[in-house]
């Protein structure tokens, strides 16, 4: 599973402060801990102030990649910020995100084509946020057509089924699972990712919901997730699910993680059994 690590986000007060003060050490530390926890991409969100975001996103990208030669997901809808940051990226970048809305796709898709970028595609159509699985699939078909028009391979697209919190929508989990199944069935060449923590928003002990829901999504066909990989037991949940679903040949990734002590989080009183 491709893990997009979400912690470097300017909506978090300490990250916002670090960006404003150009605290490179804090950003580098966040990069390290997420990579050590299993991240494949580091998501970089520099905020929503257009006049600052151009410089802030470029600085954030350079700081992350000065710590590790890892790919970065540029989490922005600001075309000028993307235009400034993409040429600076080492390796294959990711754009987070596009939608079927004209003002989003008409600027992001040419940039993705130019820079061979992967894309997170939110299943949002021209009429706005989806409420049903069918609306999500309709938006995905529109995005797939737009991607084809730009000669972009569909295997570079990561559809996001738009997960809603079960605190406000009791069917949010079931809807997300069905959307993942149908997206994988109708777009076998594409990938499916999600903002996992949305499922638990507004509820206590959110980690319990997050780490329980993730294996369910993997069973439905999810092959990527935007998560905090440092959450307790999150890495273990991913590795266990992949082993149980036959995605880990001879369970080697699970075994290696166990030998490295990565299946039990620090401070866990549970003892590993021989």
Q: What pLDDT is stored for residue 112 in this prediction?
A: 97
- What is the pTM (predicted TM-score) of this model? 0.94
**What's the Cα-to-Cα distance from 134 to each of 41, 139, 179, 194, 195, rounded to whole Å?**
30, 9, 8, 17, 19
| Fold of the domain built from segment(s) 2-259 | TIM Barrel (3.20.20)
Report the pLDDT value the prediction gives residue 272, as an integer from 0 to 100: 36
Give the per-residue pLDDT at 264. Answer: 76
In the numeric block, the tokens 């990712």 are attached to 193
What pLDDT sits at residue 212?
A: 97
Question: What DSSP string runs through 129-181?
Answer: S--SHHHHHHHHHHHHHHHHHTT--GGGEEEE-----TTT-TTHHHHHHHHHH
Which sign does the torsion angle of CA 84, 88, 93, 96 carry? negative
Q: What is the pLDDT of residue 236?
A: 92
Q: Which residue blocks in 5-101 are alpha helix, DSSP H?
A: 13-21, 24-36, 50-67, 79-85
The tokens for 207 are: 């980690």
Residues with Cβ < 8 Å from 32, sequence gap 6 or more?
Answer: 67, 68
Dihedral sign, Cα of residue 98, residue 102, residue 108, residue 112: positive
Distance CA 35, CA 42 (A): 8
Residues with Cβ within 8 Å of 33's Cβ and at least 6 positions away in sequence, in order, are 7, 230
The parts of the chain modelled with pLDDT lower than 70 are 265-274
Q: Which residues of 7-46 are buried (b: 16+ CB within 10 A; e: fewer)?
A: bbbbeeeebbebbeeeebebbeebbeebbebbbbbbbbbb
Q: Map out the domains of the chain as residue ranges.
A: 2-259
């Amino acid at each position: 599973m491709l893990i997009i690590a979400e912690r470097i986000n300017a909506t978090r007060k300490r990250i916002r402060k670090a960006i404003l003060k150009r605290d490179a050490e804090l950003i580098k530390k966040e990069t390290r801990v997420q990579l050590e926890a299993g991240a494949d991409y580091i998501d970089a969100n520099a905020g929503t102030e257009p006049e600052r975001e151009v410089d802030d996103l470029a600085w954030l990208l350079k700081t992350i990649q000065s710590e590790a030669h890892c790919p970065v997901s540029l989490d922005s809808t600001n075309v000028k910020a993307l235009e400034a940051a993409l040429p600076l990226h080492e390796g294959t970048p990711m754009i987070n995100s596009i939608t079927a809305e004209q003002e989003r796709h008409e600027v992001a898709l040419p940039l993705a084509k130019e820079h061979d970028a992967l894309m997170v595609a939110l299943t949002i159509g021209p009429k706005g946020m989806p409420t049903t699985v069918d609306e999500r699939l309709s938006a995905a078909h529109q995005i797939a057509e737009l991607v084809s028009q730009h000669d972009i391979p569909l295997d570079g697209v990561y559809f996001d089924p738009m997960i809603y919190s079960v605190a406000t929508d009791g069917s949010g989990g079931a809807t997300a699972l069905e959307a993942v199944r149908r997206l994988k069935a109708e777009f076998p060449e594409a990938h499916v990712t999600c903002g996992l923590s949305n499922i638990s928003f507004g509820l206590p002990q959110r980690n319990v919901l997050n780490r329980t829901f993730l294996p369910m999504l993997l069973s439905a066909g999810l092959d990527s997730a935007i998560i905090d990989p440092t959450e307790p037991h999150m890495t273990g949940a991913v590795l266990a699910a992949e082993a149980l679903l036959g995605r880990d040949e001879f369970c080697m990734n699970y075994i290696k993680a166990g030998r490295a002590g990565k299946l039990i989080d620090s401070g866990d009183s549970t003892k590993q059994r021989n």
